[in-house]
Amino acid sequence: MTQTKKSILIPLVVLFVLSLSAAVFAASMPGVTFVSPSYPDYSYMLQGNSFVYAADVTNSPTSVTMTYSGDTYKSLGSMSLYSGITYRKTWTPSSSDWVKPINTGGTWYFPGLFVDGTNSAGTGGAQRLHCKTAAGISTYQNTENGFTYSSPTSNSFRAVGTGQQSVAHNTPNTYNCLAYAVGITDHWEWPWSGTPTNAQLDSYMSGKGFSTASSSVLPYTKVIYYSGDHFSKVTAWSSDGTPTKVMSKWGYAEVVESNGYNTFQGKYYGSASRFYK
């Protein structure tokens, strides 16, 4: 009976010591919790706007830093102690802050904004998936008549920008308006040396399954070509088949949703001039 008690007691003591050691080690790690901004993941932080980032960091960190990360890392510098355990930094995204999101098998993932608190025990961190936009508000408004940006969560953006290694056919790990319109997300698609003729457009689109073409809007049109060498994909129609919403990839920038189908008229991308279904 005595021997049995000892054999039970030893593992319990060891377990208690191990648990205590783990608790002490965990307590020494710097915990990081986002305080602001309150925007959730998958928010679009507009270039040129200012955003106050704040985080609570425990256990007296030796440094607190912000990093913006996609397929590369962009250091945004240190956060300053604001009060108690709260650290703050105002981030006004500039063109130099942009990092290319990660592409895996044609799927694009939001870049991450990290806050890291470091002390002698190691590093603890927190992450928000906040996309810094490819351009400022004037660029978007000068491209499309109906572009909107009310906040990081209320805007016309629908997918992240992808950067641009070169404006050429088959550019890897990015895609453009034509590619998006025909369902491609892993390379830049432009099989012509310049502006295509209607015959070239019709031949290409027929090969992609859009065999009906017209210079006037078709009921339940699926893809639209614009005179400024731009394509959009129709995503909604009225009861009579008139397109009411389109989405398009703006070169190396984001996928943008537009109300109506001729929303680029008078702008860089021009008027709707060819319709396919």
Q: What b/e sequence results for 104-121 when a residue is b if at least 16 CB atoms lie within 10 Å of its CB, and e otherwise?
A: eeeebebbbbbbbbbbee
| Residue 67 tokens, joined | 């990093």
Residue 34 has pLDDT above 60, yes or no: yes
| Residue 141 tokens, joined | 């408004």
Phi, psi (deg, nearest 5) at residue 94: -115, 175
Residue 219 has pLDDT above 50, yes or no: yes
Note if the pTM is more than 0.75. yes
Q: 3-class SS at 232?
A: strand
User: Residues 65-114: pLDDT tens digits?
Assistant: 999 999 999 999 999 999 999 999 999 999 999 999 998 888 899 999 99
d(CA 208, CA 203): 9
Entry field: residues in the chain: 277
d(CA 132, CA 147): 17
Residue 268 CA: distances (Å) to CA of 110, 196, 213: 27, 17, 23
Highest mean pLDDT among 98-102, 163-167, 210-214: 210-214
- Under 8 Å between Cβ of 46 and 136: yes
Per-residue pLDDT, averaged over 186-203, amounts to 95
CB-CB neighbours of 134 under 10 Å? 21
